Structure 1
Amino acid sequence: MDCHAPGVNTRTTDQRTPSSTAGSPSPAPRGSASRQLSAPYAEAVLRHAGRDWLRLNVPGHAATPGSDLAGFFGPRVPALDFPPLLDGIDLGPDTPLDRALHLAAEAWGARRTWFLTNGASQGNQIASMVATALGRTLVVQRSVHSSVIDGLVLSGMDAVFVQPSVDPEQGIAHGVTAADVAEALARTPDAAAVYIVSPSYFGAVADVRAIADAAHAAGVPLIVDEAWGSHFGFHPGLPARALARGADLATSSTHKLAGSLTQSAMLHLAEGPFADRLEPLVDRAFRLVQSTSASALLTASLDLARRSLVTDADATGACVEAAERVRGAVRALGRFKVVSDGFHAFPDIVGADPLRIAIDTRAGGITGHEARRRLFQDHQIMVEVATDAAIVAVIGAGSAPDTDRFVEALHTLPSPLTGAAGARGMLRLPDPGPTKLTAREAFLSPALVVDAEDAVGRISADTLAAYPPGIPNVLPGEVITAEVVRFLQRTATAPNGHVRGALDLGVTRLRVVA
């Protein structure tokens, strides 16, 4: 299974896929295996590139032999970089793009699938915008990705936030329970939809079935940001995907762990009670935010990633086993702890993504930020994310990394922290301030830039999110607290730390509502 296949993304043509049964635990309905062996869009682009073209159209590089682009990437990448609206690829009836979309919907058990070239962030923005047609208020998990908050700015919707459980030792947010969602819905008569995240950045899987039942009982759809779960359901060792558990709309960041190119993603619509209403809305919103020059490379990678996931479950299974060997080695060696071993203590967590390896580094005498820095600089090992207390490594479905090298390097790290001193230095996740305005009202209001200490007690005009993981710590419309300011400033000064939305690298100034 090739997790690094060249990719392509969808076009401005109608991304229409016929209905298929949602919720099937198998990768594709019975009888479809032979169809899933093909990658119609990627194959069409490859055939097209094999012809002797004189390219007097965009893109301007015209696949010129000997150009800097060809010299840097090799001649094949620019040769495959075609514009939209080409006969035999994405223009006309029953195109290769149409067939690729159909196969993706079939594989994920969706009524319809859209290919995205601006990541799952684009899918979250689409989902947030279409919810406006169903009601005035979005019932949303507070620890959603910042792109969902961007969607609230675009839509102008009100939001009722459901607070996630928080692991105080690790300083990380997990998920929400069905009971908390039901309570929020009961006090939100104009609810449009419920919006949750599953799995979390650390691999915690929510009880999507119970939350879907709570949403449907209130007469609203469930939208799931499944950015980190695009591989779910494609092997018995993986959790079921959200659509199979009752979700009505799911964003899938296919590039994260399913093998497509960076920035490529999918949006899946379930065959359910809200499908007829949602489908035309999603299609129109898709056209609103999708580039009219969507990348053929990104789209092709989505087609190839789908084929690999469906047809090579053994490769995915090998990755599940490799990740478990790493966790087993960490447990056996005893210096560090496995974060997911503590998931049972949280009522909102019903499972874990086995391809996510979250290691409590504080237990081994080193902060997550320092562990990440040393792994990168001294061992040429990149991990996905670090917090004060942990690092998270991921294994893509079908990839074959040298996990022994990771375990060995991890256990050669120094132990600069000592007991209580390390605990005192722990950076804990701050509670958000109260909400005073909608995200859109605050974002579009006249604003002032003030010193960070003077921003305390003022209403934020920006979304500020510690990256990674990109979960907003302050939203437009929320009151800025001293605790949040300290957290963001310390995050910004940590190795590889970054605050999305900050006006400067040190978060010394903030934009507030005038």
Structure 2
Amino acid sequence: MTLPVSAAAAASADPAQLHAPYAEAVRRSTAGDWLRLNVPGHAADPDRFAGLAGHLGEQVLRLDVPPLLEGIDLGPDNPMEQALRLAADAWGARRTWFLTNGASQGNRIAALVAQALGRTLVVQRSVHSSVVDGLVLSGLGAAFVQPSVDRRTGIAHGVSAGDLAVALARHPQAAAAYVVTPSYFGAVADVAALARVAHTAGVPLIVDEAWGSHFGFHPDLPANALAQGADLVVSSTHKLGGALTQAAMLHLGEGPFADRLEPLVERVFHLTQSTSASALLLASLDEARRALVCGRDGISASLAAAEAMRAAVRAGGRFRVVSDGFGRFRDIVAADPLRVSVDVRAGGITGHEARRRLMQEHGVLVEVATDAAVVAVVGAGAGPDAERFAAALHALPAEAGVSGRPLDLVLPEPGPVRMTAREAFLSPGRPVPAAEAVGRVSADTLSAYPPGIPNVLPGEEITADLVDFLQNVAAAPTGHVRGAADPAVATLRIVEP
């Protein structure tokens, strides 16, 4: 196997990082002449399972080995144990777990672990839906910290240490503090300050760093959350870290709560991880770690490509680079340079239409679109064609009726909490006309896009202001309310009394 150019640098620090012991052990196992009478049922037979082999390739079938094999993940100091230690060393963790159900699994694990530490989770309001799932599973109550929102674009960012301190002071029996950084649009919060606030309050800091698995692997990238004092970090390694889709990691920091957290995480990990975890996903995590540690030169090229994309946006004069406005927000201390977020509404086209045209007319896929923006991501080690992106972007036509003026988005206050998310989720519910839902308890999570912050959570009271806001968003040409019983939000699902 050809190693990255900067592999010598990794070898000088720790030669073991040049290897991917689990992935290499899986590959070695394919060399044997095996009569496979175990699962998976395709038995690595490309002739009898020609459809699957034709879709994935014969080698993928051979690499699809089951768990609990001697010399792979069974026996003293087996390759899987070695791979986990190397990952922990690479990210600066006390311990690392490989996840095969995405960062969503990590968020659910973290919420379930927090349940053993207290009854209320102090959590950033703009968390991923899997954290809300964790609240349902754990039965925890939640106290929310509102993120900053760019009213001009409808983009949510992060939370400040001051706002977190206020929330923790109001909930002295909190289980943990839970924040998201970086944001979908690349905004990086002051994790060191957030960790100090949480630890002063006597609680661990849990960080959903799903979008920052590459942080810390190049001098021009922000430091990762573990290096700044986070106690438990969810890392979606498949996003920009190079693993296969659905592959992620959970890292435990070397902080004041490590001794208490480690056995809890281990138990909950086994509760949530499949007993038939995919060797393909696990091996991709091992390989992604090696590539990140050994791939500084490749990451340099990725950083240059992303900066070339931003420079082309600025030079065109029509659109705006979202991160150029990050300095206006006190909660943002850095930007992820591998994220290229573009305010396309400034150039007379909505994000949703821009994304559709980029894909259908130019063969350019971007990660996400909102009413105002599109987000392109450059994986660590990837080398996209910056000129092709810029040419496609500037070829987009202006939409009739789309103004380049800022959105001036104002969010309504959430309604009071009447039940835990778990109680509401498990209670009988029924849809009612929206007007009748006012004053009742929501059975669902409803999030208006933009900006994707949950406006209503299970267990919260539905207010008239919230109904008006959600219906206005739904009525907009590119508006969308995730979780709504119907697209127009004419009905809402409430908890039966």
| TM-score, normalization by structure 1 | 0.90
Code of the aligned partner of 1:475: L
Distance 1:2 1:446, change over 3 A: farther
Indicate which of 463, 466, 471 corresponds to 2:445: 463
Structure 2 match to 1:122:
105
Which structure is richer in relative contact order (CA contacts within 8 A, separation 6 or more)? 1
CA distance in 2, matches of 1:513, 1:315: 52
The question of whether the paired residues in 2 share the 8 Å contact of 1:261 and 1:298 is answered with: yes
How far does the alpha carbon of each residue in 1:13-46 deviate from its partner, in whole angstroms, 9 at most, with x for none?
Answer: xxxxxxxxxxxxxxx9996431000000000111
**1:255-297 Cα deviation digits (max 9, x unpaired):** 0000000000000000111000000000000011111111100
Is 2:10–2:18's contact at 8 Å kept on the other side of the alignment? Answer: no
CA drift at 1:470: 6.1
Judge conservation of contact 1:81–1:296 (CA < 8 Å) in 2: yes
Are the structure 2 counterparts of residues 424 and 260 from structure 1 closer, same or farther at C-alpha, using a change threshold of 3 Å? closer
Residue 237 of structure 2 corresponds to residue 249 of structure 1:
no
Higher alpha-carbon deviation: 231-240 or 73-82: 73-82
CA contact (8 A) 1:319 1:397 kept: yes
**Alignment partner of 1:325: what SS?**
helix
Deviations 1:301-356 (A, max 9, x none): 00000000000111011111111111111111110001111110010000100011
The correspondence for 2:292, drawn from 309, 318, 326, is: 309
Q: What is the alpha-carbon distance in structure 2 between the residues aligned to residue 84 and residue 503 of structure 1? A: 41
Quote the residue 2:89 is aligned against: 106
CA RMSD between the two structures: 2.3
Cα distance in 2 for partners of 1:2, 1:349 equals 39
CA distance 1:204–1:408, change in 2 (3 Å):
same
Answer yes or no: is 1:284 the counterpart of 2:262.
no
Q: Find the residue that maps to 1:266 and give its secondary structure.
A: strand
Matched residue, 1:482: 467
Q: Are the structure 2 counterparts of residues 331 and 254 from structure 1 closer, same or farther at C-alpha, using a change threshold of 3 Å?
A: same
Question: Match of 2:18?
Answer: 37
Local SS of the residue matching 1:133: coil
Unaligned 5+ runs, structure 1: 4-27
Question: In 2, Cα distance between the equivalents of 1:269 and 1:205?
Answer: 20
Map 1:342-361 to 2 at 5 A: 342-361=325-344
Does the residue aligned with 2:383 lie in a helix, a strand or coil?
coil
Contact 1:144 1:471 in 2 (8 A): yes
SS for the counterpart of 1:134 is: coil
Q: Please state whether the residue corresponding to 2:115 is helix, strand or coil.
A: helix
Question: Aligned match of 2:415 in 426, 430, 433?
Answer: 433
In the alignment, is the contact (CA less than 8 A) between 1:2 and 1:399 conserved in 2?
no
The CA distance in 1 between the partners of 2:452 and 2:90, in whole Å, is 29
Percent identity reads 68
Aligned runs of 1:13-92 on 2, under 5 Å? 32-66=13-47, 67=49, 68-92=51-75
Shift of 1:484: 4.7
**SS of aligned partner of 2:19:** coil
Q: Distance in 1 between matches of 2:2 and 2:246?
A: 17
The residue aligned with 2:348 is: 365
Alpha-carbon offset, residue 384 of structure 1: 0.6
**Preserved CA contact (<8 Å) 1:2 1:259:** no
Contact 1:125 1:151 in 2 (8 A): yes
Distance 1:427 1:417 in 2: 21
The structure-2 alpha-carbon separation of the partners of 1:427 and 1:164, relative to structure 1 and needing over 3 Å to count, comes to closer
1:506 to partner: Cα distance: 5.9
Q: 1:361 offset after TM fit, Å?
A: 0.5
Give the partner amino acid of 1:244: A
The change in CA–CA distance for 1:317 and 1:487 in structure 2 (over 3 A counts) is farther
Distance 1:319 1:84, change over 3 A: same
Given residue 159 of structure 1, which amino acid in structure 2 is its aligned partner?
Answer: A
| Structure 1 partner of 2:140 | 157
- 1:510 aligned onto 2:492: yes
State the distance in 2 between where 1:246 and 1:472 align.
28
Tell me the CA shift for residue 487 of structure 1. 5.8
2:279 corresponds to which of 292, 296, 300? 296
* TM score, norm. by length of structure 2: 0.93
Measure how far apart 1:507 and its partner are: 5.2
Q: AA paired with 1:438?
A: T
1:48–1:488 CA distance, 2 compared to 1 (3 A): farther
Partners of 1:69 and 1:295 in 2: CA distance: 16
Give the Cα separation in 1 of the matches to 2:52 and 2:20.
26
CA displacement at 1:473 relative to structure 2: 3.4
Q: After the TM superposition, which of the residue ranges 462-471 and 184-193 deviates more from structure 2?
A: 462-471
CA–CA distance in structure 2, aligned partners of residues 488 and 455 of structure 1: 18
Q: Is the 8 A contact 2:208 2:233 kept in 1?
A: yes
Shift of the 435–512 alpha-carbon distance from structure 1 to 2, 3 Å rule, reads same
Q: 1:181 aligns with which of 157, 164, 178?
A: 164
Does 1:401 find its partner at 2:384? yes
User: Please, which runs of 5 or more residues in structure 2 have no aligned partner?
Assistant: 4-8
Q: How far 1:464 sits from its partner (Å)?
A: 3.1
